[in-house]
Structure 1
Amino acid sequence: MYKTIVIGGGQAGLAAGYYLKKYGLSFLILEVGPEPVGSWLHYYDSLKLFSSAKYSSLPGFPFPGGSNRYPSRDEVISYLREYASKYNMPVKTNTRVEKVEKFNGRFQVTTTSGEILEAESVISATGSFHRPYLPDIPGLAEFRGEVIHSSVYRNTMPYQGQRVIVVGSGNSAVQIGVELSEVSTTTLAVRTQVKLLPQVKLGRDLHFWLIATGLDKFPFPLFGRPVPEPTTVIDSAGFKQLLESGKPNQRPMFTSLYEEGVVWGMGKKRTLMQSFLLLGFGLIYLSYRN
């Protein structure tokens, strides 16, 4: 019997563990992966935080290195490993939770191995990486290429010299699209033009201004109305200049797919023979290659 079971051993789960340990509560962190670093091992190679090291620390342990730099994926992985070790977090790795049920005021957490753990409370810190969104696009069933989710994207190597379409106007789509445009002819297919927000304003990181103005704790939603998910892209690598120069270029979202490619507005088809279609909001479509 634990006071709390935390499901997920990434940054949210470890931060929860810090406070559970601080207040002397018995707890256990269950992590599906081989070590307590969440999904960071699976992110693409070039990923960098769009918050500086100063604003990316977990409680009790500052992110190492200069406070104004933007840590890489590998640095985050090393930091999470060190954090779990520093605080001797009770993490049970390679453990997937199958279900959580409540009986007589207590929770029973059942793992896929059949183990049953009991706790007075449960914290879900699983994130969304392992449940990617797969949109239903007209013509998808007829498309004869391979469909790959963007979560499997690692680097530009498989796409060199290809024709690439990235769908989406958020941070991931723009970051991946800009990177791919260095080695391929790349287009961003968007519903609305990419909206950019400078990462540094008047010599200060964006997160400084959010904290200084209190917007980071602004009482959303307002008047009972839900707040739409933000789609503004943090300009962390000169995206404005690159997009203006057409690397990648932007086009309105295509209307559908067909056997060999995409259909733009007015029924104009684009064959993707020997090329790639990468959906930045969730999917990568790989079509025919020699």
Structure 2
Amino acid sequence: MGMEAEAAVEVIIVGAGPAGLATSTCLNLRNVSNIVLEKDDCSGSLWKKRSYNRLKLHLAKEFCQLPHMPFPKETPRYVPRDSFIQYLDDYVSHFGIAPRYQRMVESASFDVETGKWCVVVKNTRRDVEEVYYGEFLVVATGENSEGFVPRLKGLESFEGVLMHSSLFKNGEEFDGKDVLVVGSGNSGMEIAYDLSNNWNANTSICVRSPVHVLTKEIVFIGMVMLKFLPLKLVDKMTTTLGRLKHGNISKFGIEKPKHGPFYLKAKTGQSPTIDVGCIDKVKTGDIRVFPAVSSIEGDKIKFDNGKIKHFDVIIFATGYRSTVKKWLKQNFQNIGKGRTVFTVLDSRVEDC
């Protein structure tokens, strides 16, 4: 593998998802030189390649639009997947963003003496290494870099289909199958609902931890109220609305956390689960709820409550792990807590 010439800019942005595109646009409008490096062959690759067909934004569009370009007026409040992909493509075109695709970052290190970041990438299309230098590094890879599958006792013995939710498009191939969805976040509950409601799958969902289950409308109300009311009061009101909507779902095996949904979001990053119909399916028994998986043997899965059931398919909606630590060489545990000798910009900005 050869080495390409070096390039220098003020800001290096890693990731051509919504955050990276927005950051590049804001910098361009201020004549700050920057470059966007993207490991895939397109922008918004998570949406284009690793999202299921029925996906919609869980937040109202006014909370999800990128800087300097609102959604068209005719766009639905909760934007469907295909419409959001088109919006991202239009954003790239409108602002003339030119990400360098198929650039896999191998290392990023800060040189204290020069005050520069050195980012080494592999151009996977040409099989050469490239080196970029910049005063600032923006990590805009998000939290969804690599699908996470938990280590379960006996998982290697499972005789059926194993799949991470990032590979799920629709449930056509699982018609009539016994499917276990592991995970009760947004992906888990939406996939479980899709399988049961649209594909005649015998669907079960594994709920290991307490979770707030709200509707899009309740979350929207909560976000508006946060502008005027204390977080604690908003949490109390939204959880009350959730209970009025769904009733006491703990009797179905879905426990509520001790802290409120917006407190958890602010303190831990954990979002409430947005219900799209899964809870009604749970209430009617069309979707069964199980606790954590204890062990797997062949096509039999044993749960923490001692129950054992046959499954043809396991879909892991167990989230993602960031791959940043694999290539970011400095230790960032003190960022934001004290003095540092280098600067990292967080791409999660509200405005610019």
TM-score (norm 2): 0.70
Q: Shift in Å at residue 115 of structure 1?
A: 0.9
Matching residue within 120, 142, 151 for 1:110 = 120
Sequence identity of aligned pairs in percent? 28
Matching residue within 140, 162, 174 for 2:177 = 162
* Higher fraction of helix: 2
Alpha-carbon displacement from aligned partner over 1:2-24 (angstroms, at most 9, x marks no partner): 00010001100011112211221
> Distance between the aligned counterparts of 1:101 and 1:266, measured in 2?
48
* Paired position in structure 1 for 2:315: 278
Q: Which moved more, 1:258-267 or 1:1-10?
A: 258-267
Matching residue within 3, 15, 25 for 1:18 = 25
Q: State whether structure 2 residue 125 is matched by structure 1 residue 85.
A: no
> Distance between the aligned counterparts of 2:73 and 2:315, measured in 1?
34
Give the partner amino acid of 2:107. K
Unaligned runs of 5+ in 1: 219-225, 284-290
Q: Shift in Å at residue 266 of structure 1?
A: 5.8
* Paired position in structure 2 for 1:208: 224
* Paired position in structure 2 for 1:221: none
Contact 1:52 1:67 in 2 (8 A): no
Higher relative contact order (CA 8 A, sep 6+): 2
In 2 relative to 1, CA 194–245 (structure 1 residues): closer, same or farther, beyond 3 Å?
Answer: farther
* Paired position in structure 2 for 1:269: 308
In 2 relative to 1, CA 92–231 (structure 1 residues): closer, same or farther, beyond 3 Å?
Answer: closer
Contact 2:188 2:317 in 1 (8 A): yes
Q: Shift in Å at residue 99 of structure 1?
A: 1.2
Unaligned runs of 5+ in 2: 1-7, 123-127, 235-265, 321-352
Alpha-carbon displacement from aligned partner over 1:17-67 (angstroms, at most 9, x marks no partner): 122112210001111222222411121111100111222110110012346
> Distance between the aligned counterparts of 2:306 and 2:278, measured in 1?
31
In 2 relative to 1, CA 262–142 (structure 1 residues): closer, same or farther, beyond 3 Å?
Answer: same
Matching residue within 186, 197, 206 for 1:189 = 206
* Paired position in structure 2 for 1:62: 70
> Distance between the aligned counterparts of 1:41 and 1:238, measured in 2?
24
Q: Which moved more, 1:59-68 or 1:173-182?
A: 59-68
**Secondary structure in structure 2 of the residue aligned to 1:3:** strand
Q: State whether structure 2 residue 131 is matched by structure 1 residue 124.
A: no
> Distance between the aligned counterparts of 1:4 and 1:266, measured in 2?
52
Matching residue within 15, 28, 31 for 1:8 = 15
Give the partner amino acid of 1:277. I
Q: Shift in Å at residue 150 of structure 1?
A: 1.5
Q: Shift in Å at residue 178 of structure 1?
A: 0.6
Matching residue within 126, 135, 153 for 1:138 = 153
Structure 1 runs (4+) deviating above 6 angstroms are none
> Distance between the aligned counterparts of 2:273 and 2:319, measured in 1?
16
TM-score (norm 1): 0.84
Give the partner amino acid of 1:241. D
**Secondary structure in structure 1 of the residue aligned to 2:88:** helix
In 2 relative to 1, CA 102–192 (structure 1 residues): closer, same or farther, beyond 3 Å?
Answer: closer
In 2 relative to 1, CA 247–212 (structure 1 residues): closer, same or farther, beyond 3 Å?
Answer: farther
> Distance between the aligned counterparts of 2:274 and 2:141, measured in 1?
25
In 2 relative to 1, CA 36–7 (structure 1 residues): closer, same or farther, beyond 3 Å?
Answer: same
Alpha-carbon displacement from aligned partner over 1:99-156 (angstroms, at most 9, x marks no partner): 1122332111111130111111110111233322221111223334443222111111
Give the partner amino acid of 2:156. A
In 2 relative to 1, CA 99–214 (structure 1 residues): closer, same or farther, beyond 3 Å?
Answer: farther
**Secondary structure in structure 2 of the residue aligned to 1:240:** helix
Q: State whether structure 2 residue 276 is matched by structure 1 residue 232.
A: no
**Secondary structure in structure 1 of the residue aligned to 2:56:** coil
Contact 2:180 2:313 in 1 (8 A): yes
> Distance between the aligned counterparts of 2:279 and 2:207, measured in 1?
16
* Paired position in structure 2 for 1:258: 297
Contact 2:153 2:296 in 1 (8 A): yes
